[in-house]
Amino acid sequence: MANTFWIIFFIGSGYLLELLFRKIFLAKYFVNLPPLQMVSRGNWERFSGSVAQVLPDFIGLIFFFAGAYFTFTLFFWVDSPWVELVFMAVLIAISCIRLIQIISTLVFSPASEDFRVVPMQDRNALISHRLLVWTSGYIIAALMFAVVSSRLGAEVETVRLSQLFVATLLLVVAGVGVLRYREQLQDNIIAAGAVDDQEPSWGRMQFAKVWHILAVLYLAILWLLLLSDLADPDVREGGAFILSFFVVPIWMVADQLVQWVVGYAMSTLRLHQDEYDDQGEPSQEELAQREKGRALYLKVRGFSRIVVVGAFIVWVANLWKIRIPFFSELAAFMLDSIIILTVALIFWQFINSWIERKIQESIPESEEDGDEVDDEWGGAASRGRAYTLLPMLRKFIGSVLLVMVTMILLSSLGVDIGPLLAGAGVIGLAIGFGAQKLVADVFSGFFYLLDDAFRVGEYLNAGSVSGTVETITLRNVMLRHHRGMLQIIPHSELGAITNFMRGGIVVKFNLDFPYDAPIDKIRKVIKKVGQKMLENEEYGKDFIRPVKSQGVREISNSVMTIRVKFTAQPGTHFVIRREAYRLITEALNAQGIHYAHRKVIVDVADLGESEAAQNNPEQVKQLAGAAAMRTIEEEEQAAAGEGQPGSIDDPMG
């Protein structure tokens, strides 16, 4: 009686610690879970919401197990092997049953359809959840009883008879349940075959009629196999009965995984998609192509389901040491392939989703809103470093993952991959010697990106080419010229790079006034315009230094030139310069100040009172016009020599 009290005390201590955890911790951190109706219906969103719902129960289970076991270790004076054995058996049984209940809730979600991962009706989900928990609890309790009985010295025959009795009772209850719910499951089998309001296949209809007979026959065969193993003292059953009994739920999980892999492969190859993002009404040709792809998808899905069923039949036979030549190895390969492909796809989905989310975060807000950037460099906004590096990282991870999965599948098929790896190394060495230019391009691009020399969306000048970085590959960088041409340059040929998008762009421009223009007044007007432009909501934030006057730059034959200067963010200075011209002109006109008109003063030699001057005044006009034209041409040539085409401003100020 005292030993039973200690066991109850230890288990109760675990429950007490879990209760305190729920009252203190959960009430503080798990009170703002999303409401059921707000959870998205996507597969990943449903799974995430389901995990959030069962996470408190899982943490509570950990506290229960740790509290009960820690309390048991504190009372070290209770030195009784019987108490320790029974306590550990009870603790493990309760923990396993609760863990299975949590997993079942995660999958079936009997309380809410919003979190249900498996597509089921509410009633079927509740029945499946209860059957799984009760059956698992029954089997775990029976296993713990057998272990405790064996450790306490019970005879082997007694233990095996108890196992046979427990298994027989379980199979009988399962058979009764099959016969009782045969019509409901028959309707579910038929309904599952009706895809898009189409009639189920003839084979499915026939299977729905006789499924209960096949199930009862399977249970009977399972009982005979168990009886045969228990009758032979040299044979250890090794969990074959439990796995065979749960073969249908295991097959359902494997079938869902295979269907997911098939659907993902068909969607990646663009052969079939569950949903199409149509901007308008699709054409008849597109509809016919989609229908063809859907028919192919249904055929591939049906074939894969048949293959999985065959693989499970062979797998169950292997559990009972029934070897089928060739098919046993093939079934093992199929099951290994399902696990490998599923794990690889889950990993790829996680990596791809994370990279895609980071790329979207690096896109400027103006581009996300669809606003066009008025930019003489091509209108491409500068992206973050993540937008440049993450696509290449995604390609690298995808390539490595593909090679690894291929090698693992070949290894599971029995192929010795050692020579393949050695041959790949030799071939790679030969390719490296034969394609030195390619290797140089790849390594040059790697170090450019490592140094963060340029990013997607930045404007570059590399030698004789210039443009906005549009795409970066392993070998090339693609520059979009501001006139629209796409330039593809290998990384090794870039050489020295001028990146116009790092730091501020200093813009200087000249304004011409008459000799008698008020210089101080012009300076004050330009300063006020600069302050006003800083307050503009559209481009005020793009200033680094405001618009201001630098005073008189030069005085030529006919005008006085005043230099204006400002510093702005790269790519935004075009709009700011245009607005500065407009606002300064309007402000000067309001003050009665106007720009100087272009004029050339020509001094014609004194012809005196000659007859030619009096009789031919047109000759004088022609001489003056020719001299003026010559002067204008010389000024234009001098201005053209100050900078190359495409330069922003005079760097010398």
Q: Of the ranges 257-266, 382-391, 641-650, which is most confident?
A: 257-266
Check the CA dihedral 601-603-609-614 and report its sign: negative
Q: Residue 551: is it exposed, middle or buried by C-beta count within 10 angstroms (0-12/13-18/19+)? A: exposed
Residue 382 confidence (pLDDT) above 70: no
| Band of residue 32 on the pLDDT scale cut at 50, 70, 90 | low
Residue 161 confidence (pLDDT) above 70: yes
| Band of residue 172 on the pLDDT scale cut at 50, 70, 90 | very high
Cβ contacts of 84 within 8 Å, gap of 6 or more:
72
What is each CA distance from 133 to 30, 125, 128, 144, 165, in whole angstroms?
25, 12, 9, 16, 20
- Mean pLDDT over 265-278 rounds to 73
pLDDT of residue 207: 84
What is each CA distance from 190 to 128, 185, 199, 209, in whole angstroms?
18, 9, 9, 10
Q: Of the ranges 499-503, 604-608, 649-653, which is most confident?
A: 499-503
% of the chain with per-residue pLDDT over 90: 10
Q: Which domains does the chain have, with CATH numbers?
A: 1-153 (no CATH), 155-237 (no CATH), 363-499 (no CATH), 505-590 (3.30.70.100)
pLDDT of residue 97: 93
Tell me phi and psi for residue 232, to 5 degrees. Answer: -100, 110
What is the number of other CB atoms lying within 10 angstroms of the CB of residue 486? 11
Q: Distance between CA 403 and CA 407 in Å, rounded?
A: 6
Q: Do the Cβ atoms of 375 and 450 come closer than 8 Å? A: no
| Band of residue 100 on the pLDDT scale cut at 50, 70, 90 | very high
What is the number of other CB atoms lying within 10 angstroms of the CB of residue 389? 19
Q: Distance between CA 443 and CA 475 in Å, rounded?
A: 9
Q: Of 253 and 214, which is predicted with more confidence?
A: 214
Could you report the per-residue pLDDT of 206-231, keeping only the tens digit for each?
888 888 899 999 999 999 988 888 87
Q: Which run of H or of E encompasses 440? A: helix 436-450
Q: Of 322, 644, 424, 643, whose CA–CA distance to 652 is shortest?
A: 643
Could you tell me the two tokens for 639? Answer: 């201005």
pLDDT of residue 277: 66
Q: Distance between CA 635 and CA 556 in Å, rounded?
A: 11
Q: Which amino acid is at 72?
A: F
Q: Do the Cβ atoms of 162 and 146 come closer than 8 Å? A: yes
Q: Of 108, 88, 305, whose CA–CA distance to 193 is shortest?
A: 305
Check the CA dihedral 636-639-640-646 and report its sign: negative
Q: Of 176, 179, 191, 174, whose CA–CA distance to 248 is shortest?
A: 174
Could you report the per-residue pLDDT of 456-471, keeping only the tens digit for each?
888 888 888 888 888 8
DSSP one-letter code for 51: H
pLDDT of residue 584: 92
Task: Return mean pLDDT, the chain.
Answer: 79
pLDDT of residue 649: 44
pLDDT of residue 38: 42
Q: Of the ranges 47-56, 246-255, 516-525, which is most confident?
A: 516-525
Q: Of 459 and 283, which is predicted with more confidence?
A: 459
Q: Which amino acid is at 511?
A: L
Could you report the per-residue pLDDT of 461-516, keeping only the tens digit for each?
888 888 888 888 888 888 988 888 889 999 888 888 888 878 788 889 999 888 88
